[in-house]
Each structure stands twice: as C-alpha cells, then as structure tokens.
Amino acid sequence: MTRATLHDDPTLLVHAYLDGELDPVNALAVEQRLASDPNLAAEYERIEALQRLVHEQLPRETPPGDLRARIEAAVRPRHARLQPSWRSLAASIVATAFVASGATFLVLAPQPRDAVETAIVADHIRALMAPQPADVATSDRHTVKPWFNGKIPQAPRVIDLAKNDFPLVGGRLDVVGTNPVPTLVYRHAKHIISLTAVPAPGSANAGATRHAVDGYNIVRWTEDGVAYWAISDMSAADLDKFAELFRTTPPDQ
Amino acid sequence: MNVVSIHFDRGLAYTKRRSSDRPWAGSRPQEAPERGGDALKGDDENILFASLVLPHLADAYSLARWLTGNRADAEDVVQDACLRAFRAIGSFAGGNSRGWVLAVVRHSAYAWLRKNRPAAVVNVEDLEAVESTQAKPGDPDSDTPETALIAKTDAARLSAAIFELPAPFRETLVLRDVQGLDYREIAEVTGVPMGTVMSRLARARRRLVATLGRAEP
C-alpha cells in the first residue's frame, strides 16, 4: 500500500474502519469524514449491509463427520508401516510443500518481538505514510543537529553521506516506550532510511547485525552507549552499505 | 494532512513492495527435518498434529470449499493439506496455528486447481491491472437502493455471487468476512502485503455489491 493509494482512495479506510483495523485516532477521523461525505457514507452502508448479509446468510461449513477420522487414520504411524508407498509419497509432498509459497509461512510464524524494534518499525511506517518522513527537512547536517538540541538531552551523531548516494533528508523525533529518541532520515534512490539512535548507556559496543521484519530490513549496532537502528525497504546489501558508511565516516568530513 | 496509523502495536505494516522484493521471501525455510527411518514413528508428531491442526479442520474445510467450489473436492484438498501439515509439523515455529493451517490448505487448494482446473487459476497481475483501471462504483446522487436489495439477498444468490469472484478476491473476502481473520493474518495466509489485502477486499466487496445491488433479472 502506497501512501498515495490510501489518500487517493479513502474508501479503503472505510473498509478498514468497518473491519475494526483502525486505531482510535483514525477511526475518529473516518467517522468525521463519513459525516461530511455522502459518497463515503454510501460506501459504508453498502459494505455494512454486505457484511451483515454474509454473517446472517452463510452458515459455517461443517466438514463431513468422517473426514476427521479419515485424516487421523492417514497420519497414524502403524497405518503408514502397512503402506510402504506412503513414505515416498509423503517425502515428495513435503518437498513440494517447502518449495511452495505456503510453506514459507513456516518460518514467518509470528515471534515475540522486541519492544524497541516494534516501535522502530512502527515509527518508520508512520513516517512513510506521513506527508513528510522528517519533522525537520534539510540536507544540511548543521541544521539537523541544532534542531535536536533542546528537544532531547543529547543530539545524535549526524554524518553527511550525500557523496555516497545517501543524502540526508532530515530528522524527526520518534518515541520508543515513553522516551523521545532522535531519528535521522536518509534517502537512497527512492528508498527512505530511518536511522534511530536509542540511548543505551553502559551497553557494550556491538557490531552490525541485520534481520528482516514485516518486509523491512533492519540493521542494528551499538556504539559508545547508543544503539543504532537503521530500517528501510531497500535491499539488504544497500542497507548494509549504508550502515558501514555511517559507522566509518568521520563526522567532520 | 491525514496520517494513517493502523494498529502499529500489532506490527501491521503497509508495504507497497511485491513479494519478490521482500527480503525474506527469498530465504528458504530451513531444510525439512530429516526424519529418515523414524519418519512415521513419532508420537510427538501425532500429538502436535492433534493440537495444532485438527482443531482447525472446520476452518480448513470451509476455505477449501470456497476455493474449489464443492464439497467433494474440498475434502480431497483438506486431506492433502493435512498430510502436508503433518509432515511439516516439526518445523511449525509456534504462533498462529490457524493461519499456518489455512496457508497450507490454500497451497493445497491451488495445487489441486492447477492440476484439475487450470482455467480457474487467474493471473493475478492481469487481474489487478484490469481492476485498477475500472471506475469506482457509487453514484452520489442515488439513494443507494442497492443497500435494500443487498439486505434481501438469499443464501443461494450470495454464495453464487461469491463463487463468481476471481480466486484472489474470493479468498480474501472469505478469510475476512466468513472466517473472521484480521488483515495481518490474511496477509500471512495469502502471502501478499497488507495493502494488497486491503485493495483486494475492497474490490471483492464492490463486485458483490454491484452484483447483489442489482434487481434480479
């Protein structure tokens, strides 16, 4: 979903509203729009009528009574022994299952997520959806750094990487837990990179590690008591390169 | 200014990327565990299967029926899916077992359709291209009598209209409105970004509204 699509097509938000997918703030915004926009209100009524119809008219399917028994029999160990061909059949099935997309889900099953990471991902997504990914938009690091001063105890390290094709877009304040933290916004081609610096006093330095969350790449490292989180939808290799450049380029160059 | 934030606490991500761009899409799951000679002995597998898969049999069957269109085929698909799930059960990483089972069922259903009814499998890309060029329904001047017509639709007509939907739209609508999954779960089951789930759902519903909101001939 691009930002543009959501804005071009507010009816998607009406669907999301009816599906209970909106947070209270956006639900309120949709309600206000419904009150003033007859087009949207009509869409709302149609979808609601349809949902009610589906709910009332379609009975839940019940599987035939013997299906469960048949399946249980098929996976029961002793039956398999009596049918040698079953094993080779199953082997081919499992191979297919793993190659096919459905099985990709196996490794994507939800895992408990680090609270900081959740906040970082959420802030990045929200920034992508907002009209501007940065609260202060400037390519000049000498503008960004003072902007943070006075808002947070310690302004982040700001590195100019424009000559490496990672121009600075600006900075913004994100919130992790209840603490405001500085985020620098860089750009590479059409990709936005959010680099959040979370104070981690006393933490040992740690080298960069990368992983993926919800389709975003994240590279994190710890340096001088600050945990850095770089997140972007650009390729893993590019994000690695960005992190490497940020870590190795001296600030005053 | 209309900043949209949707249940961030649940990690909902709207991404515009296609599956081929998703960094994890290319990463293979770890190899299927080598079960070798012990492949079918495991009581553990059977216990896991009974607790993870069997509770979702009704959901599995329902999805299979909406995807294949009839009960006999749905039974075949569910049996196949259960065997796949049983074989892969050791690799289930925990979490939403219903989503996992439905993803396997969906996979089995499309495999079955490709083999037995290739015409039923639509090229999604073509479909989305056509859809996006079509005008949106909704005449602001009408009194939306279709709402009244929709409300009077009977089960048979509703089912028929749902079956007429192209598969990608149908599965999204069924997972949401019949089976009650949320957007995130649907995205995981169908393997598309959340934004695609939203647009498919909207299109499925608009098509149904257009069909059911017309007076019967």
**Across B142-152, average pLDDT:** 74
pLDDT over 50 at A5, yes or no: no
Q: So what's the pLDDT on residue A22?
A: 86
Q: What does the pLDDT look like over B6-62, one tens digit per residue?
A: 433 333 333 333 333 333 333 333 334 434 434 444 677 888 888 888 889 999 999
Probe site for chain A from B9, B14, B68 (most A CB atoms < 10 A): B14
Is it the case that residue B119 has pLDDT exceeding 50?
yes
Q: What is the mean pLDDT of residues A129-152?
A: 81
Closest to A226 in 3D by CA, of A146, A134, A116: A116
CA distance linking residue A167 with residue A160, whole number of Å: 7
Q: Which of A117, A172, A110, A118 is nearest to A147 (CA)?
A: A172
The pLDDT, as a whole number, for residue B63 is 94
Q: How far apart are CA A186 and CA A211, in angstroms?
A: 19
Domains of chain A by residue range: 3-57, 65-108, 115-248
Q: Could you give the domains of chain B?
A: 42-119 (1.10.1740), 124-212 (1.10.10.10)
Q: How many residues does chain B have?
A: 217
pLDDT category of residue B2 using cuts at 50, 70 and 90: very low
Strand order in the sheet with A168-176: A136-137, A168-176, A179-188, A191-199, A226-232, A216-223, A206-213
Which tens digit of pLDDT belongs to each residue from A203-227? 888 888 888 888 889 999 999 889 9
Contact assignment for A19 to B86 by CB distance below 8 Å: no
* Residues of chain B contacting A240 with CB distance shorter than 8 Å: none
Question: Tell me: domain A115-248, CATH 3.30.200.100, correct?
Answer: yes
Higher pLDDT, B118 or A96: B118
Q: Lowest mean pLDDT: which of A138-142, B64-68, B204-208, B213-217?
A: B213-217
Considering only residues B153 and A111, tell me which one the structure prediction assigns the higher pLDDT. Answer: B153
ipTM of the assembly? 0.73
| Beta pairing, strands A226-232 & A168-176 | unpaired
* Banded pLDDT at A44 (limits 50, 70, 90): very high
Which pairs count as long-range contacts for B104-107, CB under 8 Å and 24+ apart, including other chains? B104/A97, B104/A102, B104/A103, B104/A105, B105/B60, B105/B63, B105/B64, B105/B77, B105/B78, B105/B81, B106/A102, B106/B63, B106/B67, B106/B171, B106/B189, B106/B190, B107/A97, B107/A100, B107/A101, B107/A102, B107/A103, B107/B81
CB A131 within 8 A of CB A96: no
- Across A41-45, B127-131, B213-217, the highest mean pLDDT is recorded for A41-45
Q: Which residues of A touch B154 (CB under 8 A)?
A: 57
As a whole number of angstroms, the distance between CA B211 and CA B155 comes to 14
Cα–Cα distance for residue pair B57/B24, rounded to 1 Å: 29
Closest-approach residue (CA) in chain B for A111: B95
Are A118 and B8 within 8 A, CB to CB? yes
Judge whether residue A138 has pLDDT over 50: yes
Q: What is the pLDDT of residues B156-191, one digit of tens each?
A: 999 999 999 999 999 999 999 999 999 999 999 999
Tokens standing for residue A38: 């007859």
Residue A60: closest CA among chain B residues belongs to which residue? B62
Cβ distance B4 to A105 less than 8 Å, yes or no, reads no
Average model confidence (pLDDT) for chain A?
80
C-beta of residue A67 within 8 angstroms of C-beta of residue B81: no
The 10 Å Cβ neighbour count of residue B198 is 26
Amino acid at A240: D
Of A5, A38, A87, which is closest to B195 when you measure between CB atoms? Answer: A5
The residue type found at A54 is V
